[in-house]
Amino acid sequence: MNPRIAILHGGGPAPGSAGVFEGVVTQASRLGFEVLGIPEGFSHLRSGNAEAIKPLTLSDVRDASSAGGTFLPTSRARLHRPEEYETALKLLDELGVVGLVAVGGEDTGSSAAVLSTAADERGSPLKVVHVAKTIDGDIHHPEGLPTFGIDTAASEAAKDLEALHAEGLSNPDRMFLVGIMGRSSGELARRAASKAQHDGRGPDVTIVPELFRDKVPLEVVRNVVAGAHIKARARGRRSFVALISEGVLEMCTDESVKHLIADVPQDEHGHIQHSKIQFAYHLARLLEEFHGADRIGLLAGGKAIPATAIDIGYGRLRCGRPTPYDREYVLTVGSAAVSMLHAGKGGGTIFYRGNGEVHFYPFAKSIDPSSKRMRTRPMSLSEYKELLGENTPFLTERDLEDESLIGQTALTQYAFGVRFAAAVSALKHLEKA
């Protein structure tokens, strides 16, 4: 029997997920490996269910890199108890598996690292390679190398932003609050806005978790968006598009959002299920009420500008047909992962540099020793400021005395300053970033 390697996919899907399987199986066939496919992430490994694990052949994975979604079913199951990774190691040993490719984000990477450490401590021949996957762009790498899927997801989101720009020109005097994925990083929102802005059809403002150094009340987030809307109207923009990362909710003080998250379930890793909250919808309702009360940009007859909330679809962001870049990425790292295992190496995450080059980042550097979880990275504020350009969309201290802005409301100068002082203060650090 030829030596065996196995491959699994954990966490949510990302464009290109299926292509890693094609890259792995193709290179494995060249190097004389058999490949076993493990469905549903780590769930069958931790339960010792060998019957669910099946061989994969070249014909199985042909053209998988051009398809959306995962190749095998995924899950958020993790390894976090000694008996679970002991069971996983025993099963892989019985199957003759000497190498495991784990495709996934930081949660999958954390479980892969636990399994890798357990294998080394027990003298097991098993080597583990993690292929970095996340459309949030939040997996830690010292050089900021991207993960696969985010290019496709940002491209798909940019199409929606461009369409909303056209909608606003067609039906003016409207606000659009657009929710987008990004639990711990605003990188996806930044990239999507940048792609749309390149064609002159980007959002008026992009709100990401990294904007706020500390947690702020929900009303401050609302006022940050309202202030940006005031500035946009003063510049002649009758319609307004705000792109909001879902992770902004987690930068709101617990007390101010407890009514939104009280009954929301958490996944196996303890993360809030943002898809069940629809944060953009709640923010849109707050803005409508706020604008009506303060007479911000009122229409004829005293009607408040309507706010429409839109969540950019999970399906297209997570399971869209991959861009050429993402397809190149997954085929390259899938092949490189097998080559590493063939050389008897493992114990880390593999990223794509571009031009056919990959970079291996050891778990010893990416895993926080106290939590045993893979480190995440925030979006770069310097890159975010490039998106903003020279004219910030946010209110500044000087703006609090600007009559052209105050005139967009029914507030006095004093009331305007009181209303927006906390929003200005929350973003003051951007001036030095």
Residues assigned a catalytic role: 136
Question: How would you classify the pairing of strands 367-368 and 348-354?
Answer: unpaired
Report the alpha-carbon distance of residue 260 to residue 263 in Å, rounded: 8
Exposed / middle / buried, residue 325 (Cβ in 10 Å: 0-12, 13-18, 19+):
middle
Note the Cα 154 to chain centre separation in Å.
10
Exposed / middle / buried, residue 19 (Cβ in 10 Å: 0-12, 13-18, 19+):
buried
List of residues 6+ apart from 172 with CB closer than 8 A: 238, 239
List of residues 6+ apart from 397 with CB closer than 8 A: 424, 428
The DSSP code for 272 is B
**What tokens were used for 369?**
């020793």
Distances (CA, A) of 230 to 317, 410, 423, 431: 31, 12, 13, 20
Report the alpha-carbon distance of residue 155 to residue 133 in Å, rounded: 17
**Ramachandran assignment for 236, one of left (phi > 0), alpha (psi -120 to 50 degrees), beta (any other):** left
Tell me how many degrees the CA angle 58-343-20 measures, rounded to the nearest 5.
Answer: 35
Q: Count other Cβ atoms within 10 Å, centred on residue 306.
A: 15
Which phi and psi angles does 128 have, rounded to 5°? -125, 130
CA dihedral 230, 205, 293, 237 (to 10 degrees): 40
Report the alpha-carbon distance of residue 326 to residue 40 in Å, rounded: 23
Report the alpha-carbon distance of residue 193 to residue 154 in Å, rounded: 8
User: Which of 251, 256, 254, 157 shows the shortest CA–CA distance to 210?
Assistant: 251
Report the alpha-carbon distance of residue 20 to residue 349 in Å, rounded: 14
List of residues 6+ apart from 232 with CB closer than 8 A: 204, 205, 240, 393
